[in-house]
Amino acid sequence: MTMADSSQAVYLSYRVPPAGNAVMLAAFAALIPLNIFTGIRYKTPLYASLLTAALVVEVVGHVARIFLSTESASPAYFAVYLLGTHWGAAFVGSAIYLILPHITVLYGQEFRLVSSALYINIFFVIMDIFSLVFQSVGIIYAATATSPSQITQAINILLTGLAFQTTTLLSFLLSYRYFRHKINHRRYILDPTFSATYTPRRFSHFTLTFQTATLLLLLRSALRIASFSPGLTSPLAISSISSLLLDDTPILLALLLLTLSPVGRAFGPSWTDTSPLSPPDALSDLPLRRHFHRHPQNQILHKRHLSQPPSDIPSPYTPPYIISGSLPSSVAGHPEQQQPPLTSPRNKPVYHRAPPYEQSPTGTVPYISPEQQSPRMFQDGNSSSSGWKKAKASPREQQLPATTRMVGGDDLWD
């Protein structure tokens, strides 16, 4: 057998029944309009685009597989078939990886895995690029190989890409399970900003959905490694039943779960608000947001300390009209002097205690009758908490008539 015959022997074994392949092709094609509709309906363009791209490349790969069943010696059909099926799984994984940064923002700053959710996206994008590059190079090299040694080298490159994909899926699952562990064994108060998102039962169902889809992708990636490790002509790789049940079915089930349970329905408007690319002030209840990753740990201003209402015990520096909840007539009579309540960018009230320098420490001075006035009243610096201490009048002052009182400088001008 010559080199050309040995290279073509790789493709002669890929004889797939057209009936089973056509069923898979129709199933993948039927999910394309549903993902486009959910992406527009719930405003999740990037997530829906990745799932739609996965469905499109799966359809293209299965079309090439149908042609490969009739013309098994075509390197082009062979390359398109493997590229479509491998890229489809990679795009589904990329869509699932987008969910983790959004989830880590929902519960508050104390529960985030990293200081900025954008770092999670960067990590998974880099891993996806490595996975796609190695898989694509290995498949194209295998399609154009002319010797068994080149085919072996191409298979090793392909397996490296599959190993990157498996590692990324495992990292995603472990990161999410560690995050759930922090939530279940929390020491901090959950941030109520997005409580309407993570409290309903549909959100819990969605978390189970994408975890199941990730496990299906992980199973499919492990089976591909096991089938291609002995070579492209191994019994597990060329078997039509194992290809349909262990290769196409996990991808179809994962896409079906993610399509019927869209991420936009679980998150609602919070999907845009929790995006790593959203403005920094969009996630804060305070007018000024502090950048947590630029300050040491002892200077972090936890939102749970500011989001709770103040205690019912009044401060000694709080004016009486603030304690009673009503403004004095001198302030209430002038609308321009009434300050609006402090609100956040989301029009939510912000509870805080006013610093001492913003409030006057002077309380209501008790009324003192003219008979009680004396120049020695203010000579004693010590005063009780209930009122001013009355000074004892001298014998000369006791002889003065009741109508006599000390005259101040301002009284001369009356």
Structure tokens at 401: 């008539």
Least confident window among 294-308, 378-392, 397-411: 294-308
What is the chain's percent helix, strand, coil content, to nearest 5? 65, 0, 35
Question: Which of 203, 205, 204 lies closest to 267, judged by CA?
Answer: 203
What is the pLDDT at residue 22?
85
Residue 409 lies in a domain: no
* HSE of 18, CA atoms in CB hemisphere, 13 A: 9
Q: What is the DSSP string of 292-328?
A: GGGS-GGG---GGGTSSPPPSSPPTTS-HHHHHT---
Which has the minimum average pLDDT: 37-46, 158-167, 259-268, 402-411?
402-411
Mean pLDDT of all residues belonging to the chain: 74
* Residue 101: per-residue pLDDT: 93
Max CA-CA distance within the chain?
A: 139
- The residue segments making up the domain with residue 72 are 15-278
Helix (H) or strand (E) holding 121: helix 118-143
Residue 306 binned pLDDT confidence (cut-offs 50, 70, 90): very low
- Looking at residue 356, its pLDDT comes to 46
For 311-326, b where at least 16 C-beta lie within 10 A, e where not — what string?
A: eeeeeebbbeeeeeee
Which is more confidently placed, 78 or 287? 78
Instruction: Name which of 82, 39, 90 is nearest 61 in CA terms.
Output: 82
Distance of CA 266 to the CA centre of its chain: 13
Token code pair at residue 50: 């990745």
pLDDT at res. 9: 43
| 85-99, 239-253, 314-328: segment of lowest average pLDDT | 314-328
Please report, rounded to a whole number, the percentage of residues in the chain having pLDDT higher than 70.
Answer: 63
* Domain-located, residue 131: yes
393-404 mean pLDDT: 51
Measured distance CA(54)–CA(36) in Å, rounded: 12
DSSP class of residue 346? T
Cβ(377)–Cβ(391) below 8 Å = yes
Residue 82 has pLDDT above 50, yes or no: yes
Q: Please indicate, yes or no, if residue 412 is contained in any of the structural domains.
A: no
Report the C-alpha gap between 406 and 196 in whole angstroms: 68
Q: Give backbone dihedrals phi and psi of 400, rounded to 5 degrees, phi first.
A: -70, 150
Tens-place pLDDT, residues 96-150 = 999 999 999 998 888 888 888 899 999 999 999 999 999 999 999 988 888 888 8
Pairwise CA distance, residues 142 & 150, whole Å: 7
Sign of CA dihedral 70, 76, 78, 80: negative
Q: Judge whether residue 281 has pLDDT over 80.
A: no
Which pLDDT band holds residue 78 (cuts at 50, 70, 90)? confident
Whether 386 is covered by a domain: the verdict is no
Dump pLDDT digits (tens) for 22-76: 889 999 999 999 999 999 999 999 999 999 999 999 999 999 888 887 777 788 8
- Select the more confidently predicted residue: 254 or 240: 254
Q: How far apart are CA 343 and CA 185, in angstroms?
A: 32
Residue 329's SS3 state is: helix
pTM, whole model, 2 decimals?
0.65
CA distance 255 to 13: 29
**DSSP code string of 137-179:** HHHHHHHT--SHHHHHHHHHHHHHHHHHHHHHHHHHHHHHHHH
351 in a structural domain: no
Domain assignment present for 335: no
- Tally the domains of the chain: 1
Say whether pLDDT at 2 is over 80. Answer: no
- CA 122, 125, 131, 133: dihedral to nearest 10 degrees? -110
Structural domain contains residue 28:
yes
Pick 220 or 310 by higher pLDDT.
220
Cα–Cα distance measured from residue 414 to residue 403, given in angstroms and rounded to the nearest whole number? 18
Asked if residue 364 belongs to a domain, the reply is: no
Spatial contact of 244 and 20, defined as CB atoms under 8 Å apart? yes
Confidence check: pLDDT of 18 > 50: yes
pLDDT at 184: 87
Of 280-289, 341-350, 375-384, 392-401, the one with minimum mean pLDDT is 280-289
pLDDT tens digit sequence for 326-383: 555 444 444 444 445 444 445 544 444 444 444 444 444 454 555 555 555 444 444 4
Instruction: Tell me what pLDDT residue 370 has.
Output: 53
Buried/exposed code over 354-372 (b: 16+ C-beta within 10 A; e: otherwise): eeeeeeeeeeeeeeeeeee
> Tell me, what amino acid is at 340?
P
Backbone angles phi and psi of 70, in degrees to 5: -95, -25
For the record, the structure tokens of 312 come out as: 């019912």
Say which CATH number the domain at 23 has. 1.20.1070
Question: What DSSP character marks residue 338?
Answer: P
pLDDT at 395: 53
Evaluate if residue 197 carries a pLDDT over 60: yes
Rounded Cα distance between 247 and 365, Å, is 85
pLDDT(411) > 90: no
